Copies of this chain bind each other. A is one copy, B any other.
Amino acid sequence: MRLFSPQQLAQNAFCPQDYEQLAESYLEKGLFAYLSGGSGQEHSLADNRKAFHEIQLNSRLLNDVSKGSSELTLFNQTLAAPILLAPVAYQSLVDPQGEIATAQAAKTSGIGSVVSTLSSQSLEKVAQAAPPCKLFQLYLQNDDAANQALINRAVEAGYQAIMITLDTSVQSVSLKARRLGFVLHQQVEAVNLRDYDHNQNPTGKTLFQGLMAQAPNWQSLGNWIKQSPIPVWVKGVMHPDDAIQLKQMGVTGIVVSNHGGRALDNSPSPLRVLPAIRKAVGKDFTILMDSGIRDGYDVFKALAMGANAVMLGRLQIYALAVGGAVGVAHMLKLLIEELHLCMALTGCKNLTDIRADKLFIQPTQIQQSL
């Protein structure tokens, strides 16, 4: 039985991660494997957590943070915390309200929200429930007219930016889910794409002649950047050279991400490439980061490593599965409290204080410091 009252949630979830275990107990095995699993042998999925565990924080004393705040201004909107809900596809798999519920939770919590091309509720309906800071995530379709129509609809619905995901020209469904017989397309419909021809299966013999022949390239991305009336972001950046080129092409922000370990397996945790990417694009370019964030400490670490804000995927969907909109809001409350705790005890009055000097770096040779 799912939990819907704040009291029930408070008695069962004491930290954001608790929602994972609770979700596992409610969801059908194959579906949970699909949601929690990664691509390939899940090396990236594991590294996403490992990289956070390798980082430690400098506790400081007597910090005057009485005027402290975790607010962030994005698109002229003030967020209560540097957090956006990531564009998780097909949320009706775990909750009948799906994206509308998570959008409501984001609004209530004062954070941002990114809606997926593959949402189970129409982008227009979700926009109505969503907070002022809302983005539309776009998987570029083979059909140019469809892309144009989707962008137009997003602009009309009030989205502030288009976030184009580029790391999954090839999607790999979790092997665990497949072994359990989970088949995504029997259970969901991509309602936003209902009017377009989006199920063209590539006919090439190899991946190169098939999916990759249809994949977007630098030129097509350039065209969409020029044509979009609202800013364009790119999600899935994992290399400084790609970040530089995107910045030069006019992209407004990037998301450093390995798609939560669902894109190329064996890619490192985005946390490992974040410092080099920050260095490459300079301090004034907006970088979001996702993949592996499970608590407020991780948010703090991601910011100290160079991100302006983070996105939450799995935590969002687990909390949605457990408690609907109320569950997501409760999870966010716990997580933001942890972020505030980190800020207070490391002496960060605001987000710009969260820099690398707040991280503890072990001397390579203990003897040097003796």
Using a CB–CB cutoff of 8 Å, the interface residues on chain A facing chain B are 14-15, 17, 40-41, 43, 47, 53, 55-69, 166-167, 169-170, 172, 175, 178-179, 206-209, 211-213, 215-218, 221, 234, 236-239, 242, 246, 258, 263-268, 272-273, 275-276, 279, 295, 297, 301, 305-306, 337-338, 340-346, 356, 359-367, 369-370
A-side binding surface: helix, strand, loop or mixed? loop
Nearest CB to that of A168 among chain B residues?
Answer: B345
For residue A170, which residues in chain B have a CB less than 8 angstroms away from its CB?
A: 341, 344-345
Contacts of A40 in B (CB 8 A): 15, 295, 297, 338
CB proximity of A49 to chain B, nearest CB, Å: 11
B263 pairs with A59, CB closer than 8 A: yes
Interface contact B234-A366, CB-CB below 8 Å? no
A297 to B267, CA, bound (A): 11
What chain B residues lie within 8 Å of A258 (beta carbons)?
Answer: 59
Inter-chain contact A340/B206, CB cutoff 8 Å: yes
Which residues on the B side are within 8 Å of A306 (C-beta)?
370
Contacts of A369 in B (CB 8 A): 275-276, 279
Kindly list chain B residues whose C-beta atoms are within 8 Å of the C-beta of A360.
267-268, 272-273
B61 and A234: CB pair below 8 A? yes
**Which of B17, B179, B266, B337 is within 8 Å of A56, CB to CB?**
B266
B366 and A58 within 8 A (CB) = no
A293 to chain B, nearest CB (A): 13
Contact flag A178-B14 (CB < 8 Å), given A273-B360, A356-B367: yes
A232 and B251 alpha carbons, distance in the complex (Å): 55
In the complex, residue of chain B having the shortest beta-carbon distance to the beta carbon of A237: B61
- Contact partners of A264 in chain B: CB under 8 A: 57, 59, 341-342, 345-346
Known A166-B62, A369-B275: A266·B55 in contact at CB below 8 Å: yes
B238 engages A60 (CB within 8 Å):
yes
Residues of the B chain whose Cβ atoms lie less than 8 Å from the Cβ of A267: 56-59, 360
By a CB distance below 8 angstroms, the chain B residues around A167 are: 59, 61, 345
Q: Are B344 and A207 touching (Cβ within 8 A)?
A: yes
Bound complex: CA A206 to CA B71 (Å): 12
What are 20 of the A-B contact pairs (CB < 8 Å)?
A: A40-B297, A55-B266, A56-B267, A58-B239, A59-B258, A59-B264, A60-B242, A61-B242, A62-B216, A66-B208, A66-B212, A68-B206, A69-B208, A207-B340, A207-B341, A208-B344, A264-B342, A264-B345, A275-B369, A306-B370
For residue A176, which residue of chain B has the nearest CB?
B14
Nearest-Cβ distance from residue A169 to partner chain B, whole angstroms: 7
> Hey, which chain B residues are within 8 Å of A43, CB to CB?
53, 56
A65–B216 contact, CB under 8 A?
no
- Say whether B340 contacts A213, CB under 8 Å: no
Chain B nearest CB from A109 CB (Å) reads 13
Query: CA of A41 to CA of B16 in the docked complex: distance in angstroms?
Result: 11
The CA-CA distance from A356 to B363 in the complex, in Å, is 15
- A170 to B63, alpha carbons, bound, how many Å? 12
Q: For the complex, what is the distance from the CA of A367 to the CA of B361, rounded to whole Å? A: 7
CB distance from A367 to the nearest CB of B (A): 5
Give the residue among A62, A215, A267 with the most B Cβ atoms within 10 A.
Answer: A62
Contact of A179 among B14, B178, B218, B275 (CB under 8 A): B14
9 nearest CB pairs, A to B = A68-B208, A356-B370, A275-B369, A66-B213, A264-B345, A207-B340, A59-B238, A59-B267, A59-B264
Contacts of A367 in B (CB 8 A): 356, 361
